[in-house]
Amino acid sequence: MSKLITIAPSEPFLERVATEWLKQTDPVGKDKGGPGLLLVPSRRAGRALIEAFLRVLDGEAALLPRIVAINDIDEEAWGGGDADLPPSVEPQRRLATLSLLILQTPIVSQGLDRTKGIDRAWPLAKALADLMDEAERSGVDLSNSLPNAVDEQFSAHWQQTLQFLEIITEIWPQWLQEEGVSNPIARQVARFQEQARSWSHTPPETPVWAIGFADGSAAVSDVLKAVLNLPQGKILLPGVDLGLPDEVWENLPPAHPQAGLREILNALEAERSELVEWRSGRGDKREALFQKVMLPEQAIAVWGQDLRPHDITGLSVLPAEDQQQEAQAIALILRNTVSVPGKTCALVTPDRALARRVGVELLRFGIHVDDSAGEALAQTPVAIFLRLIAMAAEAKLSPVALLAVLKHPLASLGRTPGDCHASARQLERLLLRGPAPAPGIAGLRARLEELHERHRTRQEVYNDESSSADLPDVPEGPEEFIDRIEKAFEPLLTLSEAVPLPDLLEALVKTAEMLAAREDELTASVEEERHPGERLWAGEDGELLSRHLAALIQHTALLPSQKLGHLDSFLNTSMSGQTLTGFRSHRGGVELAHPRVSILGVLESRLLTFDVVVLGGLNETIWPPATDPGPWLSRPMRTKVGLPSPERQTGISAHDFLSKVLSAKEVVFSNAARRDGSPGVPARWMVRLNAFLGGRGQKLPIHPALSWQRKMDQPLDGAETISPPEPRPPVALRPRRLSITEIERWMQDPYEIYAKHILKLRALDPLEEGAEHVDFGIIVHAGMERIFKRYPHTWPENIDQKLKEIFFEELKKLNLHPARLNWWRPRLDRIADWVVQQEQAHREERKIVQRYIEASASYILQADYAPFKLTGRADRIDVADDGLATILDYKTGQPPTGAKVEGGWSVQLVLEGALLAQGGFKDIPSLSTTRLLYWHLTGNNKSGEEKEVPGSRAKRSAEDLIKDALENLRSLVNAYDDLNQAYRSQPWAHYIPRYTDYAQLARVYEWRAAYAEGNEG
């Protein structure tokens, strides 16, 4: 009876193993298995095998064997003899020590600030650890092979690399010996070898089967060889192609799906002809198809020998346009499958981003699925919370960074989470909107004092109407809340210089616990044994992170001291590669994951079978992955050292791909035409399959899920065109007072007046608002006001210099970034030169007897329904010796055209002239206006420009426009005093305001796009 078995790829592998094991006769003579040992490639495969036994037994009792994963290095796991092996070095200790060695190498340390190097050294340490692990798995002694890996013809760069790698060929082995520890993989390999020797001396009396190994390292091959030599040992390989011609088999390239299996047989010194195949006959046609499709290049001549069509039943493609469409379509396929009772399905993909997208899309249907590849530790809520704290401390509590912490679900600050978040929102509204306060707690207190000062001087009365949205949560007073923030962040904010990493991490943990502390934890009695912030470390994610931080605190003291600014990047780097499985599949001890839907990584899907399998992310560099020789060795160097070629991983991926294709009843091949905005290249296996079928006039059908996806978010009866809003509030609620500038907005966008004055809505200032064009205008207006109030009539000789000084004083008030300040100052200097020159020309042209600066106006207009109050402010009014006035307005942006002024769409200066004629300006007599001027002040190549409106070619003069202005305004007010008059949004296509805070509220872009589509149709 052969000890080498292969199970046909179309067979349900684990079920067949369970069935055959149970057929063995135990000493009592019953066909229900017996004691023994089953070696599997992974713990997941072991759990799946247990489930397969349960399905096969279908409720019957049986004595099952021990099922052990080969990578389980527990001393008692296999029941073999104990080896006198040194313990494994802790992972964080290994990386910390390697990082220190890297920082001490001349190549790295020259010119490097050691307090900044840890962020770069830690990833390099991981790469060195990976190289040692790969070499130990492959049975390669780097100390002997690496020094001879570079020939003279290689560049000096590789010579320097070898010098750097002396860390692992000379220094590291000596360190391991001195410390009495070993590399984890080296210990595992030694454990494998010890187990093989134990079996050779004392063979077990019960059967030992090694099942499901498709690629074997040197150490694993030693174990498999030992199993093969046992009296009751068997090796069960998955899907060895017995029909492949011998000449092809002997010359398989590393990227072929059978290359790993051939490698195992070679290590076992066995021939393919020795294998016995377990097959039931299912799936023979699909196997024949893919045997030809996957032939290596030197053998594809057979493609043209037989052009008869192949059976492609159960195969389909999903050619999505992008990753989002791919994810939604896959979710629909899985949802459709589980609607059939008893039917199982899975998404298999190495693309974790696609897996997350599909998981989110399945939640739409109430289906919870956990990604078997796990969730990155750095992306768990508690890890994100700690990283946000580190970023906030580094940013000295800047508004965005601080609010990210205070609004996090884990934040409580000694209160309930709801009260903490309500307090954070209140702090945001009071202090953090607009320009950022000064850094740190002092900046928050200074901003709060500014708010109190405005209240005291009655310059501003703050009414927090938004606080009602926080009910039933109650915000704390801003002074008390800032005190809590200061106390919580004190451990981190007091670190001004570089400190040892353990101290930095302990300060982070203390701050995090203070921020997460709940009210009931702080008020608990000693007997209750509650610890502030203890919920941070609860659950699987908290436990894993606490162990990770404890290891870092224990082992990083040997590293150089670090500044606070490097804490976040170090945290992120140190957590890279650590994952948490099953994190999202439970809630409150309740299993959420659907039992018949799976999202699996390629490695996790091995040996598992499903009714429907979607192979997602079939794009080059995703599946198969890019062939990368790694950062340390070139391809020739790897070959010379004895490490496997990078293409070996492609062969492993190809075997996993083929196993899924041949084991499932229905297979969907999915890929995206565009990935992350760039064109995606289909996987080479799909190119081969399409080419092979194309030569026979065949083509895989497109799965209907794409058409389902396009209809998923479409209304059943078609989309309805949205109309612009037309609110008609009661006349009593309509505004009876507006400023002159708001009159223009009223004419161009009535909906803005409705939202602002009737709904009382105000747009919040942005967080950390930067210096924008409006700030430049404020500086110019403030400077012009000061200079003309100081020197209304007679100017000193150095007036240009004085104006420049005033501009610079106003510029400094904004606390701008130095780059912005240095950009704006020359512009302001050019404006000052232009203003002096232009003003001198004006004074020579006309004698000004009176000048009014920033004059305020107020006028009661008698309308039909009720009086209407108009207010305004003129930048400047000049009165000449003939008693006629000129009104000037300063614009740093584009002034309105003469046509808009004449057409009545830009009425600012015209209405100011009308109010001046009616005596509406405070402390200014009634005057006639003959000129309306804009000074366009930019400080660019054209520093300034004077523009008179209406222009010289206009049909109407300024006097004519002013004469009719108030009557036109009365007509506008009377029109909106009619209940039937709606406040429409941007009703005039040719007169749309340049900016508005209410376009989204009015859904302008939706109804405007609908109108555009209608006009195109």
The angle subtended at Cα 825 by Cα 820 and Cα 830, nearest 5°, is: 135
Q: What is the pLDDT of residue 973?
A: 97
Beta strands 208-211 and 233-238, pairing class? parallel
Average pLDDT over residues 143-163: 79
> In which residue are the tokens 């082995």 written?
173
Residue 913 φ/ψ, nearest 5 degrees: -65, -40
How does residue 289 score in pLDDT terms, banded at 50, 70 and 90? very high
Q: What is the pLDDT of residue 585?
A: 55
Average pLDDT over residues 162-171: 92
Contacts of 481 (CB under 8 A, 6+ apart): 413, 423, 424, 426, 427, 475
Average pLDDT over residues 583-594: 63
**Residue 906 or residue 468, greater confidence:** 906
**Residue 311 or residue 72, greater confidence:** 311
Q: What percent of the chain has pLDDT over 90?
A: 68
Query: Do residues 209 and 92 lie in contact, with contact meaning Cβ atoms separated by under 8 Å?
Result: no
- Mean pLDDT over each residue of the chain, to the nearest integer: 89
Q: DSSP of 195-213, one letter per residue?
A: HHHHHHHS--SS-EEEE--
Average pLDDT over residues 226-235: 94
Asked whether residue 586 carries a pLDDT value surpassing 90, the answer given is no
Average pLDDT over residues 576-600: 76
Contacts of 369 (CB under 8 A, 6+ apart): 334, 358, 359, 362, 585, 593, 594, 597, 598, 599
Q: What percent of the chain has pLDDT over 70?
A: 93
Question: What residues pair up with 861 in beta bridges, in sequence order?
Answer: 868
Fold of 770-858+874-976: Lambda Exonuclease; Chain A (3.90.320)
Average pLDDT over residues 698-709: 96
Q: What is the pLDDT of residue 25?
A: 54
Average pLDDT over residues 690-701: 96
Fold of 4-84+190-282: Rossmann fold (3.40.50)
Residue 661, classed as helix, strand or coil, is helix
**Residue 615 or residue 713, greater confidence:** 615
Q: What is the pLDDT of residue 458?
A: 62
Q: What is the pLDDT of residue 422?
A: 94
The two three-digit tokens of residue 474, written as one number: 């109650």
Which of 82-86, 130-134, 225-229 is least confident?
Answer: 82-86
Average pLDDT over residues 92-97: 96
Average pLDDT over residues 829-835: 96
CA 949/CA 153 separation, integer angstroms: 79
Asked whether residue 176 carries a pLDDT value surpassing 50, the answer given is yes
How does residue 81 score in pLDDT terms, banded at 50, 70 and 90? very low
Q: What is the pLDDT of residue 1016?
A: 47
What confidence tens digit (pLDDT) does each residue in 399-454 have? 999 999 999 999 999 999 999 999 999 999 999 998 889 899 999 999 999 888 88
Q: Where are the beta strands (DSSP E) in 177-275?
A: 208-211, 233-238
Average pLDDT over residues 300-318: 93
Q: What is the pLDDT of residue 430?
A: 92
Asked whether residue 723 carries a pLDDT value surpassing 90, the answer given is no
The helix or strand, by DSSP H or E, that contains position 995, with its residue range, turns out to be none
Highest mean pLDDT: which range of 101-115, 469-483, 964-978? 964-978
**Residue 143 or residue 773, greater confidence:** 143
pTM for the model: 0.87
Closest C-alpha among 1006, 961, 970 to residue 986: 1006
How does residue 308 score in pLDDT terms, banded at 50, 70 and 90? very high
Asked whether residue 116 carries a pLDDT value surpassing 60, the answer given is no
Q: What is the pLDDT of residue 155?
A: 65
Q: What is the pLDDT of residue 455?
A: 79
Q: What is the pLDDT of residue 1017?
A: 42
Fold of 315-374+585-711: Rossmann fold (3.40.50)
Average pLDDT over residues 180-198: 91
The helix or strand, by DSSP H or E, that contains position 576, with its residue range, turns out to be none
Average pLDDT over residues 335-358: 95
CA 529/CA 360 separation, integer angstroms: 39
How does residue 794 score in pLDDT terms, banded at 50, 70 and 90? confident
Q: Please, what is the angle between helix 118-137 and helix 567-575, to 10°?
A: 10
Average pLDDT over residues 242-248: 92
What confidence tens digit (pLDDT) does each residue in 493-521 have? 998 889 999 999 999 999 999 999 998 88
Single-letter code of the amino acid located at 318? L
CA 884/CA 929 separation, integer angstroms: 6
Q: What is the pLDDT of residue 1012?
A: 58
